[in-house]
Structure 1
């Protein structure tokens, strides 16, 4: 019987790839309920484990090249075998694809990092590829995708802020809804993170900012215009504070100031009052007065001059008695 060595899991986590150390030939074993039952036997079978452990302890002095039986592998690592069953390879890959790290899963399950990394490594490569594609995408602007890429715009803003673009850390993961999210940090260990929604496409895809830092990195003008100056309250001087030389603090009633302001002469108010009085006079005039005022005046007939008779002209007598 040939001995096969468990080498790795396939990309989908549905099979375990085993290899013949002598010939290098590879085989795959499906990860199903039968395999799980063999790796983690029922309670009725676990009763025989102590007897097998004694045999395993006697074989501990053998060289490492000496093959050990299945009982030894189960007895030496009961905790890892039990913890591995808490998360299937498919579940491990799903969590890594959603953003979990290998260290987080190892701490949560109690399994070694190397064992988790066997299933997580293909997904980590997938996330790294998605982050690389997102850097070549085009951020969405007001009028659509801009000409520059996300990586170029982020690098330019990092230089202006005094950071080195080479130190920036890029990452990407897929949410439960299937949406890709890309993240960038200015430098390792920084608590500042910018996030964009990444939509892959034929021309590099597009990215939309998801937080304020992402807006500042890709749309600095929009970020500056959205800021509003804040009004800060002036602190009230304490009661025991001494006034400067030549000055003193005076407490004035606000109602008194309001009353004084109401008696001040307002030239604009007077002009408005005069205009208002003229309008009232026009409104108070009766229609009859308006018609009389607007009706045209009829001119009277001119007086016809008196022409003296011929006899009066000859005799030099005036016909009008007043003349």
Structure 2
């Protein structure tokens, strides 16, 4: 096989001029096959696998998702300098999102001294709270690094990395079995943060480590023994109140209606009245005590003869009737002998009606009688 060397490009720009060792000249057309062969040869010289060339947008997407320029260059086989040409704008975007997350308020103003000594009367944002918590643990603030990257669902992951080697041994943070990286889920549009691991909760929440534990407040309760009768009275009172309210509702609904117009309402009212007397809506259990403690004196009777169940009157008045006296009415005639001083004025005022019996009877005879129903329907017998 003869070896050829490149002499140059033809004037038309479509052919390559070649020559051999003996001076013979040759022309090689520049076509697609030649171009593909040259690209494959260049990739083989750089050690880049075929088909791994990334577009600038793909490079920035990978960096925005958390990859570094060195990682993208190593995965794609592209030169690091070529990848870093597209890294700057994306890294500025990630830093801006992390700054937005640090400005999100994570605590409202608190009243205890631990909070007011650090933040005063102002709310605390994420950056200030994390710096305060790391200082309380004895971790240097210079070891803190913030970063953010975007996930496939559109949310951002905000991380805070720090060096835990300088932490105080007195703090109980050794029990957190995680790497020294606090992670939050951040939505810039809503400015909302959510804890993604235990470190995020410890560094972004002041309670309960810095605030004094609130004691349980106890209230004295009156000691009263359980009374079954008292509970029964309460139940009776509630039932009486319910019956009274039900009766009032029925009476209000029947206002302006006569009996017989609404049979259902009449039956309901009759049913309630058949239960017996409605007790008072507000019975007072101390009424009997007030009556017993009044000014009147009561005498207990111990004689069995006096406890015979008969009604009692005042002393000197007999409860057993042995003589019945008929008291004459105002229009009756006096029978027997009457005392002149007591009955004479009354006799003068009350006339004797024996003389007037005749006219009275005549008047009664002249009064027309009311005909009966049969006489109205069938007529009088005289008719």
TM-score in terms of structure 2 length? 0.36
TM-score in terms of structure 1 length? 0.42
Q: Larger C-alpha radius of gyration, 1 or 2?
A: 2
Hey, which of these two has a bigger chunk of helix by percent? 1
